[in-house]
Every structure is written in structure tokens, then in C-alpha cells.
């Protein structure tokens, strides 16, 4: 059976209520543990209500103290935005505070205004991520580390302390949209973090076919590298809502999903160059623009093509089972609390999913 987690981007459109919103968010994680979800996944973003967790390590440490059993995953840590030794140190501490419950999800970030705000070159993000992850893993697994890189240099031996409690290190997941990222994950033996909002924005009505194609490329690369293509976990993040009545599920969820896509659209334009494209992001930026202009970001289109699920329990089971079987999904990360939705709706949907969806997938 697939494992089920919940995802939160901590989207609080009304910042005057941010204290209560964070309390609600943390309560969702506690409830997930009570209901036997396997994991919680959190993200970090800057300078926008698109997501107001600025540091996954800070938030993960808070969650570690509010929960006892549930795994804590990052989706994702933006590797280019911090010195890799700081990232390694902070997450080693999170691994300890959580008693070994950390799943380390990594990515290179994708919102231009964040790179502009931090003064980080967006067109170098893939190279920075490669170098940064190399430093993180070596610092976790070697007694000391020196490093001569393009972006970071460690001239004298440094002993990173504390070391994480997981051996040889916390499981690593990589955000995957483009063929290049699937290939990189295969070469490194990382778990896959797939996400319908991003794959759909790139491939629209063909996103499921594109995901299948990219996974075939991933498996072929694994085999060339001598790795078992089925060994690493495959996580899929989905905007998800369930109600006893399918039409009511869509009615409740619609405006919040559309708020999210309007916000991500605005952030993609903010700080972007006049051409609208950045080297290394050509595919997602070019296709994301087409997706917006062709009207594919309406809830009706997202629902039609399975990129957002809002159904009764039977409908949800059928869609999730189909994805599990087609793509070999080991973990679903369900995004209930999108776009400032009422916490009461989130709790009701989480409970209904645990009772009538999870046991059947």
C-alpha cells in the first residue's frame, strides 16, 4: 500500500491573522499523526504570501517538538539560498531533535523575485545545487571536509557537528520536473519528489504522459548507473480535497486552488527578465506562460486533467489508485490547506481521507 502524508505551503493570505494561522498549521501536523498519516511535508519561500515559512529547518524543528512518530519532510530546501555547511548543520540538528524522522528534500528554487532579493544568480542555480548538495552529504558522512568549488570553498578541514543520527544520512529526495532533474536523481540515487502543480504547469493536458515518459528516462538512467530503478521512493504531491459529496468538494476547494495559481503566476513575473526566461529554466518558464495564456490554470481545467483532485471518497480512491499503479508511487503528499481554506474544512477532509480513502489505495 502507498504511504500518505500531508503537505503545507503555509499560505496565509490574511497576514493580520498569521499567529492563529501558524497555530492551525501546526495542529494539522499533530492531527496527521493522530490519524496515522506517515509524513508531513513543508516548503520554504520568501517575500510573498505564496508561502510564509522562510526556513524549513526552523519549521521542521518546531514540528519535531509537536509530534512523536510522523516523518518530517522538506519539499524543498532551496539549496542555492544558504551556505551548504549551514544547511548541513541545521538539518543534522533537526534529524537529532526529531529522533531520526527527517526526510531531506532538495531543489534549486524557481521564483525570480527570491533570487533577486537574495542577490543569487538564478541562471547558476543548477550548478549551485549540485555543488551545495555535494558539500552537505560529504559533511554528513566524512569526519572532516575541505572543498574547492566554484561557489563555495572550505579551505581548511572542518568537522561538521553534530552529525545526523540517520545512517549514512537522512534520505534525500530531489524535486523533479524536467528530464534533466529525473536524470540527476537517478545518477545520485535520490528519491523522487514529483508535484502535479509544477508538472501540469509545464505540460498541461499531457502532464500525466510527460510524467510517464520522464519516469521511463529515470528508470533507464538508473539501469545504466547500476541502480535498481524501483529502489528509491517516489513521492507525488497533489492538491487534494475530499467531501461526502463530490460537487461540494469542488465548490469548497475551487477558489483556494485558483488563488494559489494566481499567486504563483504573479511571482513568476515579478523579478523576471524582460525576455521572461532565465537560462536553465527555459522549459518551465516558456511552457508556464503558455499554460497561463491558454487558460489551463482554471480550476475546471486542473480538475479535468487530474492535476487537482476534489471528489467524494470513491472518486478519490479511483484517481489515486490509477496514479499509484501507473507511476509506481510509494508516497502521496496531499495538499488540503491550499490558499487560505477554512481550517474546519481541512480537518474534516483529513479525517475523511484517513477513514475512507487511505485504506483502499
pLDDT score of 345:
98
**DSSP symbols for 162-177:** SPPSSSSSS-EEEE--
Closest to 258 measured CA to CA, from 204, 176, 197, 199: 197
Cα Rg of the chain, angstroms: 19
pLDDT score of 323:
98
Dist CA 338 CA 298 (whole Å) = 15
Measured on CA atoms in the order 291, 73, 63, 360, is the torsion positive or negative?
Answer: positive
Beta-carbon contacts of 153 under 8 Å, excluding residues fewer than 6 positions away, are 147
Which residues of the chain have a pLDDT value below 50? none
Which backbone phi and psi does 143 adopt, to 5 degrees? -60, -45
Superfamily covering domain 3-360: Luciferase-like domain (3.20.20.30)
CA distances from 296 to 182, 205, 291 (A): 25, 8, 5
pLDDT score of 93:
98
- pLDDT, tens digit, for every residue of 242-262? 999 999 999 999 999 999 999
Determine the number of helices (DSSP H) and then strands (DSSP E) in the chain. Answer: 13, 12
Model-level pTM? 0.97
pLDDT score of 269:
87
CB 182 within 8 A of CB 215: yes
- Structural domain boundaries of the chain? 3-360
Beta-carbon contacts of 165 under 8 Å, excluding residues fewer than 6 positions away, are 95, 96, 99, 100
- pLDDT, tens digit, for every residue of 186-216? 999 999 999 999 999 999 999 999 999 999 9
Amino acid at each position: 500500500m502507498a504511504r500518505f502524508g500531508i503537505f503545507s505551503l503555509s499560505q496565509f493570505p490574511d497576514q493580520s491573522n498569521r499567529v492563529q494561522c501558524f497555530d492551525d498549521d501546526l495542529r494539522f501536523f499533530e492531527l496527521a499523526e493522530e490519524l496515522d498519516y506517515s509524513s508531513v511535508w513543508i516548503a520554504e519561500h520568501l517575500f510573498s504570501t505564496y508561502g510564509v515559512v522562510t526556513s524549513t529547518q526552523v519549521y521542521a524543528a518546531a514540528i519535531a517538538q509537536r509530534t512523536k512518530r510522523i516523518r518530517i519532510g522538506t519539499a524543498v530546501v532551496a539549496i542555492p539560498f544558504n551556505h551548504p555547511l549551514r544547511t548541513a548543520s541545521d538539518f543534522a540538528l533537526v534529524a537529532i531533535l526529531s529522533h531520526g524522522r527527517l526526510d531531506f528534500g532538495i531543489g534549486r528554487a524557481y521564483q525570480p523575485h527570491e533570487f533577486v532579493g537574495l542577490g543569487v544568480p538564478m541562471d547558476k542555480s543548477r550548478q549551485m545545487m549540485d555543488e551545495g548538495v555535494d558539500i552537505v552529504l560529504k559533511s554528513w558522512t566524512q569526519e572532516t571536509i575541505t572543498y574547492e568549488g566554484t561557489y563555495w570553498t572550505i579551505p581548511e578541514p572542518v568537522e561538521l557537528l553534530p552529525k545526523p543520527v540517520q545512517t549514512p544520512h537522512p534520505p534525500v529526495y530531489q524535486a523533479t520536473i524536467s528530464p534533466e532533474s529525473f536524470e540527476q536523481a537517478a545518477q545520485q540515487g535520490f528519491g523522487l519528489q514529483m508535484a502535479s502543480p509544477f508538472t501540469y504547469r509545464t505540460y498541461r493536458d499531457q502532464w500525466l504522459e510527460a510524467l510517464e515518459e520522464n519516469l521511463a528516462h529515470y528508470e533507464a538512467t538508473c539501469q545504466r548507473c547500476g541502480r535498481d530503478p524501483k529502489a528509491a521512493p517516489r513521492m507525488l504531491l497533489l492538491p487534494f480535497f475530499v467531501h461526502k459529496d463530490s460537487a461540494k468538494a469542488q465548490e469548497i476547494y475551487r477558489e483556494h486552488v485558483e488563488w494559489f495559481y494566481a499567486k504563483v503566476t504573479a511571482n513568476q513575473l515579478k523579478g523576471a527578465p524582460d525576455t521572461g526566461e532565465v537560462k536553465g529554466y527555459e522549459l518551465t518558464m516558456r511552457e508556464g506562460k503558455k499554460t497561463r495564456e491558454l487558460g489551463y490554470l482554471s480550476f475546471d481545467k486542473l480538475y479535468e486533467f487530474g492535476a487537482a483532485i476534489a471528489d467524494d471518497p470513491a472518486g478519490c480512491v479511483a484517481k489515486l489508485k490509477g496514479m499509484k499503479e501507473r507511476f509506481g508511487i510509494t508516497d502521496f503528499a496531499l495538499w488540503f490547506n491550499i490558499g487560505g481554506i477554512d481550517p474546519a474544512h481541512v480537518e474534516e477532509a483529513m479525517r475523511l481521507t484517513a477513514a475512507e480513502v487511505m485504506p483502499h489505495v
